[in-house]
Amino acid sequence: MNISIVGVGYVGVVTGACFAEFGNKVICVDINKKKVELINSGKSPIYEPGLDALLKKHIGKNLSATTDINKAIQISDLIFICVGTPSLPDGSTDLKYIKSAAKDIATALKQKNTYSVIVVKSTVPPKTTESLISIIEQESGKSCGKDFGIAMNPEFLPEGRALEDFMNPDRTVIGSIDKKSYESVLSLYKSFKTPIIHVDLRTAEMIKYTSNAFLATKISFANEIGNICKPLGLDVYEIMNAVGMDKRIGRLFLNAGIGYGGSCFKKDLNSLIHTAKNNNIEPKILKSVNETNDCQPHKIVELAKKKLGSLEGKKITVLGLAFKPDSDDMREAPSILVINVLLSEGALVTAYDPIAMENAKKIFNNKINFSSTLEAALSVNKIIFILTEWKEFKKESLYYEKIVFDGRKVLNGKSRDNYEGVCW
Ligand code: UDX
Ligand code: UDX
């Protein structure tokens, strides 16, 4: 199949590279010229294990990138919309990129005489995809169902393991306006051995929000239990290891600590809260999931203050800046809040992250120091905060004679003096 990917942020570039790997001819479209040039040179605009290799393998063959949306649309059977859907200040979803992408696609459709399906992959509130039909019909003069189809195919791609999850998903959800659109999208996933769920457009949209809301709920639940465990001298990981063995519960996403970050959970929960309120539903659980999460990064600083007294003038090394390991993404990373609180308490911070430091420098400017190696970061200070569970941080011997505050249960800590875990 010939595919256009409109918007090559994290989701777009992974989707484009993976569809190329499955033998499709893919054109990535973005308004950002730098990203387009980077992809055409076989380099990924984001860090994702395996992605550079996949781009190098396919670029110039069945994968290319362009800023020319019109050219791409003319030769595409399927057009995936993967532009960002950020939050507005009231928590609702800003659909301006989605709408402008739909308009650009519609303008190109004017000159096109073959059928194509427009597929929304970005996370959008229920009813959004169907609202694009009238925008596209008006702008293009074409008719939905006859000249073009519409589908919604949400992504479930966790950063750091996105390629693996794209190739072997737990399920693939395809929402569609009609059978023809569905079959067109289905043809891309024919070789997948996992279940395909066919639903209507708004159900597909709601499945995505519900998945992320539930994952976030599991984390906040684990954090709340962890907060109860800590003063009781209990280790919440021991509790969750046993609790998670119950098949009805499952062990995944019950890791307590400094809470969830990333571009999705908070934004998607806020959007769902907004949708609920618009429908006169008070979403009590969803609201407290985000509230619990907002408090978690503060816990590690409180622990440090309890153990060390005032942090004024204290020299602290922070290990891990990215919102999760195997990612250079700093969006909503709990490290931002922790470091800002440390700075406001008067601490002097040195930080190290295997790959997120370039992105972190843009956030902290010159307010903190960065060490170029783990060893250097450890050698300069006695007080260590661990905020991301990078594998290389897991060696207990690195922390000889250090005072460690662990936000992610990176160390066992049991036989160690001068060790505090957030919820254990
Ligand atoms: C994605 C999804 O789209 C979002 O809905 C989901 O919840 C999380 O993942 P992400 O891949 O992180 O978002 O998007 P982002 O990094 O914001 O990239 C979007 C890209 O679209 C950018 O490269 C931007 O330049 C491009 N864009 C935006 C266009 O090409 N055209 C536009 O009109 C707007
Ligand atoms: C998420 C969704 O999982 C994915 O399906 C897609 O919708 C994009 O958003 P992502 O944000 O990349 O993926 O990573 P994820 O693995 O879900 O982790 C999100 C955050 O939760 C990270 O900060 C992580 O450290 C934290 N987390 C995760 C916990 O605090 N505890 C856990 O048990 C699991």
DSSP secondary structure letters along 373-388: SHHHHHHH-SEEEE-S
For position 335, what pLDDT does the model report?
98
Indicate the SS3 state at residue 140: helix
Position 365 scores a pLDDT of: 87
CA distance 157 to 183: 23
Residue 413: what pLDDT? 84
Q: What is the pTM of this model?
A: 0.96
Ligand 1 atom closest to Cα of residue 81: 3
**Domains of the chain from N-terminus onward:** 2-199 (3.40.50.720), 218-421 (3.40.50.720)
122 lines ligand 1 (CB under 6 A): yes
List the beta bridge partners of residue 175: 152, 199
Pocket test for ligand 1, best of 5, 6, 11, 68 (most atoms within 8 A of CB): 11
- Give the model's pLDDT for residue 322: 98
| Closest to 393 (Cα-Cα) out of 336, 318, 337 | 318
Q: How far apart are CA 160 and CA 178, in angstroms?
A: 34
Q: By alpha-carbon position, which residue is closest to atom 32 of ligand 2?
A: 253
In the chain, which stretches have pLDDT less than 70?
none
**Placement of tokens 């393998």 in the chain:** 57
Note the pLDDT of residue 415.
75
Give the separation between CA 65 and CA 30, rounded to whole angstroms. 8
110 CA → ligand 2 middle, Å: 40
- CA nearest neighbour of 47 among 165, 154, 161, 167: 161
Q: Listing from the earlier edge strand, what are the strands of the sheet with 348-352?
A: 369-370, 348-352, 315-319, 383-386, 403-406, 419-421
Contact of 30 with 103, CB cutoff 8 Å: no
Which of 63, 19, 22, 23 has the alpha carbon at shortest distance from 39? 63
> Residue 198's CB: how many other CB atoms inside 10 A?
16
Cα distances (Å, whole numbers) of residue 43 to 40, 57, 59, 141, 204? 7, 11, 9, 38, 32
Q: Would the CB of 215 count as within 6 Å of ligand 2?
A: yes
110: CA distance to ligand 1 center in Å?
A: 24
pLDDT of residue 371: 98
How far apart CA 29 and CA 32 sit, in angstroms, is: 9
% of the chain residues with pLDDT over 70: 100
Taking CA 55 as the corner, what is the angle to CA 54 and CA 61, rounded to the nearest 5 degrees?
A: 105
